[in-house]
A and B are shown apart, each in its own frame.
Chain A
Amino acid sequence: DTGVSQNPRHKITKRGQNVTFRCDPISEHNRLYWYRQTLGQGPEFLTYFQNEAQLEKSRLLSDRFSAERPKGSFSTLEIQRTEQGDSAMYLCASSPKENIQYFGAGTRLSVL
């Protein structure tokens, strides 16, 4: 069991560019979550997948954000036309059942 894997660990981009992050959940976990965490704050829920279905999306997820989980395994989070306010840690978590979420180490995004 390798845990939840997120890539890249760090991403530096210029404002206006598109970025994509990848999350590989623990195998056989059918639930996958994305969160955003800014400095000094707790994680904020972005979206949730059960298998390949995206069942919930936060109001925080503007139309510049899109997430996919095409085969119910790995997931990608894309941010289009990045803004400086998008700079944050993006956390992925997976869960085999409703209660306990296991988190990855996150992708830290810096928008210059």
Chain B
Amino acid sequence: AQKITQTQPGMFVQEKEAVTLDCTYDTSDQSYGLFWYKQPSSGEMIFLIYQGSYDEQNATEGRYSLNFQKARKSANLVISASQLGDSAMYFCAMREGDNYGQNFVFGPGTRLSVLP
């Protein structure tokens, strides 16, 4: 079974609008971490945001927020006020186990295109 599912291969959003990128995950661990990375065409993976499984509040980093719904096992990324530079691949990832575990799994990604 897929550990990380991103059901949107591609998304379009108008500049200055908000967009939500979906991510669902599968784990039986109680302790885990969820991450979002951005990969522009240059290829470098850029860390965006992190959510721990025990964090009670949704994580926010500037224009990025993570809508964490633990019971539904979803960790959607919300980008507010989209900019042209946000056009890129976006990957959801999960670290299973406690902080001493290093098993990272990435989803297949969503390609976001921001339209002027």
Contacts and interface: CB of A to CB of B under 8 A. Distances in A.
Which of B4, B95, B104 is packed against the most chain A CB atoms within 10 Å?
A: B104
A48 B102 contact: yes
A43 interface: yes
Contacts of B108: 40-42
A6 to B, nearest CB: 10
B43 A99 contact: no
Contacts of A55: 102
A44 interface: yes
A105 interface: yes
Interface string A50-77: 0000011000000000000000000000
Main secondary structure of the interface of B (DSSP, over half): strand
Given A98-B99, A99-B95, A105 B106 contact: no
Nearest to A4: B44
Nearest to A3: B44
B50 A100 contact: yes
A101 B47 contact: yes
Contacts of B44: 103-106
Contacts of B109: 40-42
Nearest to A95: B102
A91 interface: yes
Contacts of B47: 100-103
Given A99-B33, A99-B50, A99-B95, A43 B103 contact: no
Interface of A: 31, 33, 35, 40-45, 48, 55-56, 89, 91, 93, 97-106, 108
Given A42-B107, A45-B105, A99-B99, 7 more contacts: A41-B108, A42-B4, A42-B91, A89-B43, A101-B104, A106-B43, A106-B44
Interface of B: 4, 33, 35, 37, 42-47, 50, 52, 91, 93, 95, 99-100, 102-109
**Top 7 A-B residue pairs of the complex, sorted by shortest distance between their CB atoms:** A42-B106, A103-B45, A98-B99, A105-B44, A48-B102, A43-B106, A42-B91
10 contacts: A43-B45, A45-B103, A93-B45, A98-B100, A99-B95, A102-B47, A103-B44, A105-B42, A106-B43, A108-B43
